[in-house]
Structure 1
Amino acid sequence: MAKKIISINKKRKTAENRTAPDVISRGAGKSWIYSDKVKEHFFSPKNFLQTGEENKFDFNGIGMVGSPACGDMMKFWVKIDPKTDRIKICKWQTFGCASAIASTSMLSVIVTEKGGRKIDDAMKIKPQDILKRLGGLPSNKIHCSVLGDKALRAAINDYFRKTGQYDR
């Protein structure tokens, strides 16, 4: 799950397999530049969609942002109850760094907790809301929460298209 780095010590002619700098833990001689909440959502992501489960949940909205060619890519699948307008299931896949994975995981929790967010309330979620729940991100990683927000909006807009709600 974590990016791995292989470094070569030319003097000793040894190779060291270590975790990439953006996912190393602080404390006990190691460093972790993220909050414990980010660590939790990176190492134990919530609502992750396993490959092959795409048809298991009868999703009615799918949204994707980013590009695998240039960096982070996020895809959201949502199951919205048309009677209550609540997001009942939110699954995702993210290809990116620890911040991207943690942001996507946290956003999926935010929209499904307490019986699911109403669509209108979910559309009001801002990247700052994700950052706050994560305990912050380094300034050069804030764009990850913005991508998550855009992917969720794309999934909700796909639901609107599929249900003929063009005015929302």
Structure 2
Amino acid sequence: MSEIKYSKKVMHYFLHPKNVGVIKNADGVGRVGNLLCGDIMWVYIKVGKKKVKGKEQEYIKNIKFKTFGCAAAIATSSIVTELAKGKILEEAIKISNRDVVRALGGLPPIKLHCSLLAEEALSEAIYDYLSKNKKPVPVLLLEKHKKALKAEKEFNIRFRQIKKGKI
């Protein structure tokens, strides 16, 4: 079995993750998982308001995560919270898995799915906030949500099959 090589930054965020925990009464919660690798991530957000260029905007005032998974899953969860904290929602929605990978100084190809999970968990937390508060959901976020729903549906089907001993 070959050894997976991580960047120093990935190892730093794995060993010393930032923003770990749960926000009680979070404004939005995103949960995603990958059945193949067993990673599960939750992202919790608190939303505040601030003036940006004279216009009141909603922003991520506080953000935390809880992840069960490998070093890459923990590091990507941590860095996505760092990238999103303080950003207005419109900017946070645009954070991509490529941004996560770049911020960590790269990921081994076999671990790139962790960056996608981190992006999806953040997006789902924002989607949860907007939908619960009956606010308009931007097209980009709606597209990300549809992908996450499809992945979750597949996850749930496979999980039930495993529990029933069919896989």
TM-score (norm 1): 0.72
Output aligned runs, 1:57-96, within 5 Å: 58-66=25-33, 71-82=38-49, 84-96=57-69
Q: Unpaired segments of 5 or more residues in structure 1?
A: 1-20, 23-32
Given the alignment of the two structures, is residue 107 of structure 1 paired with residue 72 of structure 2, yes or no?
no
Contact 2:131 2:137 in 1 (8 A): no
AA aligned opposite 2:15: F
Contact 1:68 1:95 in 2 (8 A): no
Aligned pairs, how many? 131
1:44 to 1, 11, 16: 16
AA aligned opposite 2:20: F
| 1:154 aligned residue | 124
Q: In 1, distance between residues paired with 2:74 and 2:37?
A: 16
Change in Cα spacing, 1:65 to 1:82, as seen in structure 2 (3 Å) is same
Change in Cα spacing, 1:38 to 1:68, as seen in structure 2 (3 Å) is same
Percent identity among equivalent residues?
A: 40
1:13-60: CA deviations, max 9, x gaps? xxxxxxxx55xxxxxxxxxx11111111000000000xxx542xx410
AA aligned opposite 1:89: N
AA aligned opposite 1:131: V
Larger radius of gyration: 1
Instruction: Spell out structure 1 runs of 4+ moving beyond 3 A.
Output: 67-70
**How big is the alpha-carbon RMSD for the aligned residues of Structure 1 and Structure 2?**
1.9
Contact 2:33 2:39 in 1 (8 A): yes
AA aligned opposite 1:87: I
Given the alignment of the two structures, is residue 98 of structure 1 paired with residue 65 of structure 2, yes or no?
no
Change in Cα spacing, 1:166 to 1:66, as seen in structure 2 (3 Å) is same
1:126 to 96, 103, 107: 96
Contact 2:23 2:45 in 1 (8 A): no
| 1:16 aligned residue | none
Q: In 1, distance between residues paired with 2:65 and 2:6?
A: 21
Contact 2:32 2:41 in 1 (8 A): yes
TM-score (norm 2): 0.73
